[in-house]
């Protein structure tokens, strides 16, 4: 054994404790740390010929890279939809690495049973019936990709061909309909060989991001009975708007289509009795995407793909090899997802659900929603700002009351970023340059919201 590696092995316990000190320092600083640090990119260093050992690597990390990390796990980072990581989720993720199980299939480990158990809990939490089976993937992009891959196989089934065997050309032209699709849906269509052009954007309700069911019906009617794919959205990026899933699903009585629902963050509305109505009808989907590294607050690299058609999923993702065996009635995960060897992503989710339960996660979701409402009120107390949509769930989308040009919005965002009090991102809504922020972190308090509002108001007041 390499002598440095051998020494690290002998001191593994002490070195883990040293790593813990780094972790502790980071966690303890999160509430006060700047939301974003000035990004510094250290000069490249040569690949170490002889290593420095773990202690040396920890030093180098602390010196070179850690100072440039953002506080995206902290309470005032509102960019994109950025979840934090609950204490139990961090512990679960840590143990995932320590135990390093391969959740591909039957490697004589309880890992796969744990994943099945966890996806069943998540289905229950989201109000999906037990006919849905779930598998963990890396994120919502991958979950959308897997859902649409199953949809592609379903289109083949309707036409009497197997896309998995014959290839996508056997399908001919495919139509995918959606009101306000997330960009990852286009990416998924590109990866699947269906093409970005297969997506037809359906008009939305007036001044909304939710699809207009009448317009959707007209699009389906125009297909003359040809089966299609509908991507419904439960939580849009700008305004966290929801398609009327019940109305969309009802159209299947008249038209043949696969219903995929992108509920990346919006699915978690289901945990709150006050907001659960937003996902009424989710249960009628054929496939559902949810992200866990957003509103479940587990570390990155975690989403789930649910479907009612595990048979079609197996047809797409089956990995034929004598040593892997036949998928059978309860296929191993390597026959259900793009990966073969897989990290046990379910463990972090299992930890946080076990530690905090439905009530704990409901409290996070409802506190984040209250934070968004409070921020909306504080910002619009200034006549210089206005909301571009009523606060949707946990998202605030606002702009300058006067002259909201892209340059002026950029200036506000720059000065907010310089204050390091919070991090917000630009967008366009109703063709107006705007700013959006989404609350999705378990640490955020009312005091944080007040600091965020003060920083934004200051930045707006500083505009000449």
Ligand X SMILES: *Cc1c(COP(=O)(O)O)cnc(C)c1O
Contact residues toward ligand X (CB under 6 A) are 81, 139-141, 144, 182, 184, 235, 237, 262, 264-265, 291, 303
Residue whose CB is less far from ligand X, 15 or 149: 149
Phi, psi of 382 (to 5 degrees): -90, 130
* Pairing, β 303-307 against β 287-291: antiparallel
Question: Within 318-443, where are the H helices?
Answer: 346-380, 406-419
Shortest distance, CB of residue 264 to ligand X, whole angstroms?
A: 3
- Alpha-carbon gap, residue 365 to 368, rounded angstroms: 5
Residue whose CB is less far from ligand X, 361 or 436: 436
Alpha carbon distances (Å) from 375 to 75, 235, 278, 392, 399: 14, 19, 22, 12, 13
Residue whose CB is less far from ligand X, 294 or 443: 294
Residue with tokens 């259900």: 336
- Alpha-carbon gap, residue 322 to 310, rounded angstroms: 21
Residue with tokens 């197997």: 162
Residue whose CB is less far from ligand X, 187 or 386: 187
Shortest distance, CB of residue 266 to ligand X, whole angstroms?
A: 7
Residue whose CB is less far from ligand X, 235 or 281: 235
Residue whose CB is less far from ligand X, 123 or 237: 237
Shortest distance, CB of residue 429 to ligand X, whole angstroms?
A: 15
- Alpha-carbon gap, residue 180 to 233, rounded angstroms: 7
Shortest distance, CB of residue 110 to ligand X, whole angstroms?
A: 27
Shortest distance, CB of residue 260 to ligand X, whole angstroms?
A: 11
Shortest distance, CB of residue 325 to ligand X, whole angstroms?
A: 31
Shortest distance, CB of residue 330 to ligand X, whole angstroms?
A: 27
Shortest distance, CB of residue 2 to ligand X, whole angstroms?
A: 37
Shortest distance, CB of residue 71 to ligand X, whole angstroms?
A: 19
- For residue 307, the SS3 value is strand
Task: Tell which residue, 262, 272, 366, has the closest CA to residue 306.
Answer: 262
Phi, psi of 92 (to 5 degrees): -65, -40
Shortest distance, CB of residue 226 to ligand X, whole angstroms?
A: 26
- For residue 178, the SS3 value is strand
Order of strands, sheet of 287-291, starting from the edge strand that comes earlier in the sequence = 133-137, 303-307, 287-291, 257-262, 228-233, 176-178, 199-201
Question: Within 275-345, where are the H helices?
Answer: 310-317
Residue whose CB is less far from ligand X, 112 or 233: 233
CA-CA-CA-CA torsion sign (398, 401, 403, 407): negative
Residue whose CB is less far from ligand X, 264 or 412: 264
DSSP string, 109-163: STHHHHHHHHHHHHHHHHT--TT-EEEEESSHHHHHHHHHHHHHHHHHHHHT--H
Shortest distance, CB of residue 236 to ligand X, whole angstroms?
A: 7
| Cβ(204)–Cβ(238) below 8 Å | no
Residue whose CB is less far from ligand X, 34 or 235: 235
Residue whose CB is less far from ligand X, 243 or 291: 291
Element spanning 247, H or E = helix 245-250
């Amino acid at each position: 054994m390499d002598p440095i590696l051998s020494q690290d092995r002998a001191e593994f316990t002490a070195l883990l404790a040293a790593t813990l000190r780094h972790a502790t320092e980071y966690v303890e600083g999160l509430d006060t740390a700047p939301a974003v640090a000035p990004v510094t990119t250290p000069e490249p260093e040569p690949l170490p010929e002889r290593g420095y050992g773990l202690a040396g690597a920890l030093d180098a990390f602390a010196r070179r890279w850690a100072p440039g990390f953002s506080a995206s796990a902290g309470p005032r980072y509102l960019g994109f939809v950025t979840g934090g990581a609950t204490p139990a989720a961090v512990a679960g993720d840590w143990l995932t690495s320590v135990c390093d199980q391969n959740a591909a299939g039957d490697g004589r480990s309880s890992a796969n049973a744990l994943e099945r158990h966890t996806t069943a809990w998540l289905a229950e939490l989201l109000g999906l019936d037990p006919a849905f089976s779930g598998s963990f993937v890396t994120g919502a992009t991958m979950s959308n990709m897997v859902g649409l891959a199953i949809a592609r196989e379903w289109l083949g089934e309707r036409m009497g061909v197997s896309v998995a065997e014959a290839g996508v050309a056997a399908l001919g032209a495919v139509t995918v309909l959606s009101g306000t699709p997330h960009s990852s849906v286009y990416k998924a269509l590109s990866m699947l060989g269906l093409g970005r052009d297969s997506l037809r954007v359906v008009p939305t309700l007036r001044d909304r991001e939710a699809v207009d069911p009448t317009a959707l019906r007209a699009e389906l009617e125009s297909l003359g009975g040809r089966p299609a794919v509908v991507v419904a959205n439960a939580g849009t990026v700008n305004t966290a708007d929801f398609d009327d899933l019940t109305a969309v699903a009802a159209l299947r009585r008249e038209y043949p289509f696969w219903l995929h629902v992108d509920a990346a963050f919006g699915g978690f509305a289901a945990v709150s009795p006050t907001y659960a109505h937003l996902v009424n009808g989710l249960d009628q989907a054929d496939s559902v995407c949810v992200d866990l590294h957003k509103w479940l607050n587990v570390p990155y690299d975690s989403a789930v793909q649910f479907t009612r058609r595990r048979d079609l999923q197996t047809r797409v993702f089956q990995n034929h090899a004598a040593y892997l065996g036949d998928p059978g009635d309860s296929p191993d995960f390597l026959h259900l997802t793009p990966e073969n060897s897989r990290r046990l992503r379910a463990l972090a989710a299992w930890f946080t659900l076990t530690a905090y339960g439905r009530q704990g996660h409901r409290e996070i979701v409802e506190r984040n929603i209250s934070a968004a409402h409070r921020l909306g009120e504080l910002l619009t107390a200034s006549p210089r700002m206005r909301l571009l949509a009523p606060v949707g769930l946990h998202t605030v989308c606002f702009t300058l009351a006067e002259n909201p040009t892209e340059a002026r919005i950029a200036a506000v965002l720059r000065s907010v970023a310089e204050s390091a009090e919070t991090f917000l991102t630009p967008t366009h809504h109703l063709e107006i340059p705007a700013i959006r922020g989404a609350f999705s972190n378990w640490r955020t308090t009312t005091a944080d919201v007040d600091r965020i509002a003060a920083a934004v108001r200051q930045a707006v007041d500083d505009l000449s």
